Chain A
Amino acid sequence: LTSKRGDALLLGAATGAAAAVVAYAAVRGAERALFLEPNPAMLIGSDRSPFAWRSAIALYLGGAAVFGGYALAVRSPPAAARAMLALVAAAVAAILVQGALLP
């Protein structure tokens, strides 16, 4: 890998990681806001962990964002770096808001 390609890949991966956090907050928020959850006292057992499933969906969406981050980084590394910063800030805000309001 050339240095430029390697940098772009790193930026793409970082974008994906930040996007996965935003996606997790969005998925959990949507779940809490739109769908009724079973009463834990009534739930006898579940064959899959809802947390692990949400995380898998968030990773899938984050994985899709890797392509966008990489494409932007190849075209314009400074723009990708700026977008990265904004996305990290958005991820922190989203996970804090979700954790506080829709845990």
Chain B
Amino acid sequence: LKGLGAGAPLLFIALIAGTARAEEATPRARAEASCARAEAAARKMGFDEALEAYRAAIEIDPSAPCARTARARADDLAAHAEGGFAPLRELTAFRRDPQKAADRAAVEALERDLSAFPPGRVRAEARLLAAEAWARRLGDPGRAIAAFEATIADPEADGMTRETAMSELWALCRERGEIRPALAAVERDPKLSPKVTAAVHRAARRERARLASTVALGALAAIGAASIARLALAARDVRALPSRLLRPLGVAFALYLGAAGAVLVRIHGDGDARPFLWMGLGVLALTAVARALPRAIPVRSAAARGAWAAACVVGVVAAGFLAVERTDPSYLEGIGF
């Protein structure tokens, strides 16, 4: 018993040492240590060392908890390895310092350097970063658009980077009310981002319809103004002119369109009543124009009268479109604009 009492501490130490050695030798523990080494190396921008350590971890124990992350990070690093990781180091340094994106000289330096980067993902990501800085932080949309376009056109860029560049380009164009660069980009590659492609095409249709509506209403306004001027010159009493051009039924109709529509929208609860009010005013003006021309230049031909009626109908459609488009374009989304 005495001998056993003296040997117990030795046995205890031997047991602990044995367990520790066993733990050190466990493939899982070695894999975890390798993952930790990789993380530390990546933090210090030692990407080649990090890649090696991630790969080692996967090889040591592919079923280790960190192996899945290690695989993803190793793949990502391998995909960004061009130029021996030097471009990635520069990009990472830029990303880690939030002040750089707001520094014109730093963004210009990044753009200068990236033109010398070898083709690959890093070059495209760096260009996207510069484009975002020009657009959001430095307020230079012209340079931002050029950089977004270059990113979209880069064949070495990955799909997600190009798609992001397309979305950002579209957002910038929409903010500036200038859809041409986005339209050109989606026409070059309509499948890159189907959602953006649909939105850009919708905006292009809306722009064409706005132009056509403005031209139609402008022409009707000019004809109306000329007709009213002629009627005013020929009239004995100009004060009688409004009653010749606006009949009670026409005024009532315009009022109904505007007021009843606005009431309907209010009942609905979350809509915008302004399109209906503008529509009512537009129809009222068109009613006066519609009556002015035949009174200024009497025409007997049924074809001419029909053509004038058709032109006025086009004017009402144009007024309706502009009333909605200028106030709450979200109403137009459901009908393809």
Contacts and interface: CB of A to CB of B under 8 A. Distances in A.
B40 interface: no
Nearest to B334: A35
Where chain A touches its partner, the secondary structure class is helix
Given A34-B334, A60-B260, A67 B267 contact: no
B interface bracket (residues with beta carbon within 8 Å of A):
10 to 19
A63 B268 contact: no
A57 interface: yes
Contact of A70 (B249, B257, B267, B334): B249
Contacts of A67: 249, 252-253, 256
B264 A60 contact: yes
A56 interface: yes
Interface residues of A, number: 13
B181 interface: no
Contacts of A48: 268-269
A29 B326 CA distance: 28
A76 to B, nearest CB: 15
Contacts of B335: 34
A71 interface: yes
Contacts of B261: 60
Contacts of A34: 334-335
A26 B236 CA distance: 49
Interface string B239-281: 0000000000100110011001100100111000000000000
A34 B335 CA distance: 8
Given A60-B261, A70-B249, A53 B268 contact: yes
A71 B334 contact: no
A7 B268 CA distance: 34
Contacts of B253: 64, 67
Interface in A16-46: 34-35
Contacts of A56: 264, 267
A47 B261 CA distance: 20
Interface in A50-71: 53, 56-57, 60, 63-64, 67, 70-71
Contact of A63 (B249, B256, B269, B334): B256
7 contacts: A34-B335, A35-B334, A47-B269, A53-B268, A56-B267, A63-B256, A64-B253
The 7 closest A-B pairs by CB, nearest first: A67-B253, A60-B264, A60-B260, A71-B249, A56-B264, A63-B260, A67-B249
Interface of B: 249, 252-253, 256-257, 260-261, 264, 267-269, 334-335
Given A47-B269, A56-B264, A60-B260, 10 more contacts: A34-B335, A35-B334, A48-B269, A53-B268, A57-B264, A63-B256, A63-B260, A64-B256, A64-B257, A70-B249
